[in-house]
Amino acid sequence: MNKYISYALLMTMVYAHPLPSLFFTGNPLEPIRGGNIAYTLFAVLYTLDRYDKEEIAGIEVDFGKNGFNYTPEYGDNWWSYYFKTNQWGNITEKKRVPDYQKNIMHLYAQFDATIQRLHALYKTYIRLNDDIIHEVHVVTQHYLQHTPTIGIYYESKSNISYKKLVHTIKKTLKKHKKAHLFLVTDDYQLAELLIAMYGTRIVCSGYALFKYANEGCASVTRRQLINCLLLAQCDKLIKTSCTLSACVSIFNPEMPVITLDQEWLEKE
């Protein structure tokens, strides 16, 4: 099970400083695809850890018209597309750190929160929007509650071979003979392979497959977040390492996790 999260996750935390309050705003990194919601969630939780310890007076998350997910028809501040709350405590002076790449090393040196701690902060301070809660509930009721389910998260950019993934799945299913598989991937070749191997044991595959082409940024991120929330409803998770899949353990820190690669993000 994941116990620690590396500070690589904080690379999109552009504004942070030991001031009376901290302010998240436009992000010049324009992070890639759905992963930016994961980076930002980890960064906000880290800052909420400081707020919870009364090291800062308040936090505000307001990206305005900036960021990868900004979609004019949805309004300003893409954080609010997914979460109800964007302000905690007293918002006083707000200043931008001039060189976040240097200051991130200061954050790296301080941050050592367990997954359980991040989960507690998430449950205490973060509120999902009602439409996301409803969709997760409906899909969970229909697909994931009636049989043991092994979640699988695989990104095509991973260097993990199909052979290693399939070997891990087979080994896991020997211990969970009646389990179904909930697959989240952008690799359609892998999806076809696993569906050919396991047929109807692959549940909700059409929903969980994701593709970036011809979708707006906000829509992609919303689907990625929902997929992570759904994976957190599974009984066990097999995954490749990335910020997005690491979020699953924040939503359910008690779920056993098999990480197929160990570089970049987390310790097991």
Last residue of a domain, one of 110, 129, 148: 129
Domain boundary among 96, 129, 162: 129
38 and 122 together in one domain: yes
Do 213 and 243 belong together in one domain?
yes
Q: Which of 61-75, 185-199, 220-234 has the lowest mean pLDDT?
A: 61-75
List 21's β-bridge partners, or say none: 58
pLDDT confidence bin for 40, thresholds 50/70/90: confident
In tens, the pLDDT along 216-243 reads 788 888 888 999 999 999 999 999 988 7
Residues 121, 148 within the same domain: no
Domain boundary, last residue among 88, 105, 129: 129
User: Percentage of the chain with pLDDT > 90?
Assistant: 37
> Looking at residue 92, what is its pLDDT?
67
DSSP letters spanning 11-38: GG-----SSSEEEE---TT---TTHHHH
Which has the higher per-residue pLDDT, 59 or 123? Answer: 123
Asked whether residue 118 falls in the same domain as residue 143, the answer is: no
Helices (H) and strands (E) in the chain, counts: 9, 10
Residues 240, 166 share a domain: yes
45 and 163 fall within a common domain:
no
- Residue 266's pLDDT is 38
DSSP state at residue 204? S
Residue 136 confidence (pLDDT): 93
| pLDDT, average across residues 70-96 | 83
Q: Which residue has the higher pLDDT, 227 or 66?
A: 227
Domain count, the chain: 2
263 and 136 within one domain: yes
| Shared domain check, 31 and 99 | yes
Note the pTM of the prediction, 2 decimals: 0.80
Phi–psi pair at 92, nearest 5 degrees:
-115, -130
Residues 149, 203 contacting (CB under 8 angstroms): yes
Which are the contacts of 64, defined by CB distance < 8 A and separation ≥ 6?
A: 25, 26, 70, 76, 77
Q: What is the CATH number of the domain that holds 228?
A: 3.40.50.11350
Query: Which domain range does residue 151 map to?
Result: 132-267
21 or 39: which leads in pLDDT: 39
Q: Is the pLDDT of residue 156 over 60?
A: yes
Mean pLDDT computed over every residue of the chain? 77
Q: Are 183 and 202 in contact (CB under 8 A)?
A: yes
Are 240 and 155 found together in one domain? yes
Looking at residue 9, the DSSP 8-state letter turns out to be G
Residues 107 and 136 in one domain: no
For residue 17, the model assigns a pLDDT of 37
Q: 136 and 123, same structural domain?
A: no
Tokens at 180, concatenated: 């179904």
Which pLDDT band holds residue 161 (cuts at 50, 70, 90)? very high
Indicate whether 58 and 148 sit together in one domain: no
